[in-house]
Structure 1
């Protein structure tokens, strides 16, 4: 159960960032704000503190560099991690030399979780790369999604099935898009993210 005593840190890449440094509350205009607003509307006097620490362009190694400052120093009771899109997206660039392959991704991700003892964890599957279930990016994402699933099980974390939710949506071939460019969310994509996150943490008993 989430209460006003909780501090939830959301850390990730541009999908989490969503322009947070351009507005006073530093929440951005994406799924993090939608989650915060929903929790406030449901319980105005007992809503948790929400902190957005997304940074555009980040990969898992970037999270490692700022983990102490942006996570541990914030003293979260709950930590939500969304990472993996840039780790894969940059592999689609033939000029990218410093690739984060699945083995490295798991190694670094695991080290971050090892540093987070005592914090309730929420691990979000990476979303999608192109709104086509069979795109090259989505094929490359599969082992990263599986790593997040495995780590969630090992560390007793809430798993947010974000990739599954997005693949199911785009597979239905509806007329409404989720992203502006195949990766970054429009308002519909952010709504799907917020809804999927809230459903997952409630099923696990965190909210």
Structure 2
């Protein structure tokens, strides 16, 4: 696994990351980490790698677009001095184009999304060991659906920037696409965005796989 003892991993994102976490930054005991995929990741790492002390921090805030996240990025991500930054943003950038189409300033265009992501990646790489870039997604198997098609543009931007900057790339959209060949999206989220515990587990599993997580790990000694 890529994480070392006493590394700090900060999850930056929107409601999919937040999921009821303490605001603006959640970590530690009780439900401060929320109930989303960051909490499942923390559970799995502590269960399988008991010899490691990894500090996981949830810096997700519900409703954020990439513009909103960038505005608080210094305070809620960089100033925490993380060794790893995980970014999951973009769903609201697209969603606002469809649920509030008359409010053009609520959404974020692909061009602005790419600029915002570049700033986040570059500033994080300047201080951290690495960046884990995850895609936004829409739980819709029909790729011709208007919002699903638009979301793919943002997914492709993430893939291209991850390759350009050498980020660890986690494609949540592709993961859900594979899963929905077997199960309907209603099993995970009626609004096709906010995952239940099954979805959070699927996302954590995909994220951990890209970080070298070994389910058969046995602590030495």
What's the TM-score once normalised by structure 1's chain length?
0.91
Q: Which runs of 5+ in 1 are unaligned?
A: none
Contact 2:8 2:57 (8 Å CA) reproduced: yes
1:46-93 per-position Cα deviation (integer Å, ceiling 9, x unaligned): 131100000000000011110110011100000000001000000002
- C-alpha spacing 1:170/1:134, structure 2 compared with 1 (3 Å): farther
Distance 1:103 1:27 in 2: 32
Name the counterpart of 2:88.
Answer: 82
Distance 1:175 1:17 in 2: 21
Distance 1:81 1:175 in 2: 23
Q: How many pairs align?
A: 204
SS in 2 for 1:146: helix
Contact 2:36 2:200 (8 Å CA) reproduced: yes
Contact 2:139 2:185 (8 Å CA) reproduced: no
SS in 2 for 1:115: helix
SS in 1 for 2:212: helix
Work out whether 1:73 is the aligned partner of 2:74. Answer: no
Distance 1:102 1:46 in 2: 39
Name the counterpart of 1:200.
Answer: 210
Distance 2:53 2:112 in 1: 37
C-alpha deviation, 1:143, in angstroms? 1.0
Name the counterpart of 1:147.
Answer: 157
What's the TM-score once normalised by structure 2's chain length?
0.86
Distance 1:130 1:164 in 2: 11
| Structure 1 residue runs of 4 or more that deviate by more than 3 Å after TM superposition | 22-25, 129-134, 171-176
Contact 2:14 2:89 (8 Å CA) reproduced: yes
